[in-house]
Amino acid sequence: MANERIEDHFSEAASVLEQFRSNGANIEVIRQAGDLMVAALKAKGKVISCGNGGSMCDAMHFAEELTGKFRDDRAPIAALCISDPSHLTCVGNDHGFEQVFARFVQAHGKAGDVLLAISTSGNSPNVLRAAEVARTQGVHVVGLTGKDGGKLAGLCDVEVRVPHAGYADRVQEVHIKVIHALIDHIERGMA
């Protein structure tokens, strides 16, 4: 019984990934998102990333692979993840948790930059506030969403949606594949 349950995790994950991969529109929006990021970086801009919980871990992974390295040695690429605990707790305490990402975007986002906003539901209030602020400042928004895209879908210049209505972990598993594809696309575009 336990083995079957474990195997079911892999079977479902493979199915969700294959459904996403086999839809050419998904590959196209990933390219569009990557092109938007490359254009910002070539114009001396940056990419800022944010998300909650596992999505914050994905946002951190995205930024560190760009500032560090992904597969091959190359110059660092300008990326920031909104994950500094002192910033998050200061803003959360003084302005509320819904503002923790927005205040960072207000402080650091410049017209032409890109915000990578990650929310498996598309409805995380603090991610939505960041996207709203980004739009007022001329910062492009790339959203990684799930289910029906939520409210975030309407705030994105480019939305990459994993239309899985089940548990968020399946959406996150595809998000990390998307993130790796974006990093590779950015590295090649900046080479």
pLDDT tens digits for range 3-33: 999 999 999 999 999 999 999 999 999 999 9
How much is the average pLDDT of 42-70?
98
Residue 2 pLDDT? 87
Phi-psi region at 119: left, alpha or beta (left = phi > 0; alpha = psi -120 to 50): beta
Give dist(CA 8, CA 19) in Å, integer.
16
Q: Using pLDDT thresholds of 50, 70 and 90, give the confidence band for residue 1.
A: confident
Q: How many Å is the Cα radius of gyration of the chain?
A: 16
* Alpha-helical runs (H) found in the chain: 2-21, 24-42, 54-67, 85-95, 100-108, 125-136, 168-190
Q: What percent of the chain has pLDDT over 70?
A: 100
Give dist(CA 167, CA 9) in Å, integer.
11
How much is the average pLDDT of 71-100?
97
Give dist(CA 160, CA 153) in Å, integer.
9
Q: Using pLDDT thresholds of 50, 70 and 90, give the confidence band for residue 190.
A: very high
Residue 16 pLDDT? 96
How much is the average pLDDT of 120-131?
98
Give dist(CA 29, CA 17) in Å, integer.
16
pTM of the model: 0.97
Mean pLDDT of the chain: 97
Measured over the CA atoms of residue 141, residue 146, residue 150 and residue 153, the dihedral's sign is positive
Phi-psi region at 24: left, alpha or beta (left = phi > 0; alpha = psi -120 to 50): alpha
Q: What are phi and psi of 179, to 5 degrees?
A: -60, -45
Given a contact cutoff of 8 angstroms between Cβ atoms, the answer to whether 52 and 124 are in contact is yes
Q: Whose CA is closest to 32, among 131, 143, 164?
A: 143
